[in-house]
């Protein structure tokens, strides 16, 4: 699954720990999402997108195979 979480954090200058404090999503979970080990819940997606000031659909695009 493609996600742009690491890129958005870099652009926002927000380390995982600050994103954790802003969203309540633990930094170890954020790391696993960035590495593609787990898929975030819709609630986690919304919280992280809001904290990073980006659109949820940009941050976590729908895979092309699901669009068919």
pLDDT at position 1:
54
Compute the distance between CA of residue 52 and CA of residue 1 in angstroms, rounded to an integer: 19
The 10s digit of each residue's pLDDT in 20-62 is 999 999 999 999 999 999 999 999 999 999 999 999 999 999 8
66 band by pLDDT with thresholds 50, 70 and 90 = low
3-14: average pLDDT: 95
Task: Output phi, psi for 37, to 5 deg.
Answer: -75, -30
Give this prediction's pTM: 0.87
Query: How much is the pLDDT for 2?
Result: 67
The residue extents of the domains of the chain are 5-53
């Amino acid at each position: 699954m493609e996600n742009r979480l690491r890129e958005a954090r870099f652009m926002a200058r927000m380390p995982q720990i600050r994103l954790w404090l802003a969203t309540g999503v633990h930094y170890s979970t954020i790391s696993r999402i960035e590495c593609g080990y787990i898929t975030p819940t819709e609630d986690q997606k919304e919280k992280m997108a809001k904290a990073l000031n980006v659109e949820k659909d940009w941050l976590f695009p729908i895979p092309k195979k699901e669009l068919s």
